[in-house]
Structures are given as structure tokens and as C-alpha cells.
Amino acid sequence: MSFYEDEESIVDIGCDHGLLGLSFINNPLIQSIHLVDQSGDVINDLNKKAKDAYITRKLLLKIQKKNGQELVLGTEKKCIFITGMGGKEIMDILVHLASQLSSIDRVIISPHRNILELREYLFHSEFGLIDEVCIKENGQFYQILCLQKSFVLPNIPIYGEKLWHDQVGKEYLNHLIRALKCHQDATTRAYLDYLVQLSC
């Protein structure tokens, strides 16, 4: 999955150490990078990193102490990353940002919990799915979804459709089946039934 094409702006919400956003510093297609986090300590560290960074071209680097539910976006074409947080937080941020996004902006999300709740919101939202993938890092599985406001793109499937087909996806499928067997609520049981059918 390609995370960006020729966006003029990168926005990293809940950026923490800033490595994701700062990885675009020397990409000539990127004209601005906006790092956002609600932690004052994180922002102080990022400001120090920015002073020490070796930037070889003209680039607007904006570092802002703010949570995603308060953020005001610019009007330029952008790719927005919202990763490393729970599905409920991501959903709140997307609800806030939706009216500020255009049909050329893309949003990359990676929820760490409350994934079904987030995906159900997305299924009924104005966002369409560009792509989704599962990755494994340090023994943990992460869903990554690339979204865009669109009524042409397919809806975001509640259970995921493209996640399960490669080797990592199959590992993730088996991991979830084992992890969800102890849950008895109807929503989780329906998800488990879906996963079991996929594994057959």
C-alpha cells in the first residue's frame, strides 16, 4: 500500500516521537510537515529535534501542542496520519476533521484497540477505503487503513476484507480466533464466526 503520492502536506496527529512525520523531511514532494501531540514533553522534544535536523530544502515544519479533536487543518492537499491510539480516539478525531477534509485528502489510520467500533463507524461514514493491510511489528499485529472522503470508493468493511490473505494476515487471523474465543458478547461472537469461516 502506498501511504502517499504527491501530497503537499503531511499531518501526523498524536505524533509522539515524531519519527513518522519527520521521515518525510527530505522527500521533495512534501512541502510541509505538521506534527501534533497533546503532550508538552513530546512537543519540547520535537522542537529540539527540529533545531538539530539537517533539512536540505525549503520546508515548512510546524509543531503544535494540541489534541486531534481541536485541530484546524489547512486547505492544501494533505495526507493525515492518525496512529498509535485507540479506535474511539481516532473516531472522535475523524468526526471532528471530516468537514475540513476534501476529496483529495487521504487519511491513514492504525487503531490499537476498539477496532470493531471504529470500523462500524467508518462503514456508515462518508469515508471510502483505498486500501487496508495488516503488519506485524515486535510480535504485535496492526491494521492500517487508507481512507478518503468519497462516495465512489467502496465502504470500509466492518470486519476487513483485504487483511487476511497474505502470510501476516493469516497469522493475524489465527491470533484473533484464539484471542476472541473467551468473549461472549454478540458483536464479538459474530466477528469470531466470520473469522472462523475465513480460516476454513
User: Residues 112-125: pLDDT tens digits?
Assistant: 999 999 999 999 99
Domain count, the chain: 2
Per-residue pLDDT, averaged over 134-156, amounts to 94
Domain co-membership, 138 together with 186:
no
Helix (H, G, I), strand (E, B) or coil at 177: helix
Domain co-membership, 71 together with 131:
yes
Domain co-membership, 96 together with 187:
no
Domain co-membership, 176 together with 126:
no
CATH of the domain at 41: 3.40.50.150
Residue 199 belongs to some domain of the structure: yes
Q: How far apart are CA 132 and CA 134, in angstroms?
A: 7
Q: What is the mean pLDDT of the chain?
A: 91
Residue 159 belongs to some domain of the structure: no
Domain co-membership, 116 together with 187:
no
Residue 2 belongs to some domain of the structure: no
Residue 3 belongs to some domain of the structure: no
As a whole-number percent, the residues of the chain with pLDDT over 90 amount to 76
| Cα Rg of the chain (Å, integer) | 18
Q: 136 pLDDT exceeds 90?
A: yes
Q: 96 pLDDT exceeds 70?
A: yes
Top-confidence residue, 184 or 125: 125
Domain co-membership, 61 together with 143:
yes
- State which of 44-48, 52-56, 57-61 shows the largest mean pLDDT: 44-48
Q: What is the pLDDT of residue 4?
A: 61
Q: How far apart are CA 127 and CA 41, in angstroms?
A: 33
Domain co-membership, 149 together with 170:
no
Domain co-membership, 175 together with 87:
no
- At 48, the pLDDT band (50, 70, 90 cuts) reads confident
Cell of 60: 515548512
Q: 107 pLDDT exceeds 90?
A: yes
Domain co-membership, 143 together with 69:
yes
- At 50, the pLDDT band (50, 70, 90 cuts) reads confident
Q: How far apart are CA 113 and CA 142, in angstroms?
A: 10
Domain co-membership, 130 together with 172:
no
Q: Taking the model in full, what pTM does it have?
A: 0.92
Edge-to-edge strand ranges of the sheet holding 106-111: 60-65, 32-37, 9-13, 78-85, 106-111, 140-149, 127-137
CB 157 within 8 A of CB 122: no
As a dihedral over the C-alpha atoms of residue 79, residue 84, residue 88, residue 91, rounded to 10 degrees, the angle is 0
- Residue 31's domain spans which residues? 9-154
Domain co-membership, 139 together with 197:
no
- At 200, the pLDDT band (50, 70, 90 cuts) reads confident
Residue 172 belongs to some domain of the structure: yes
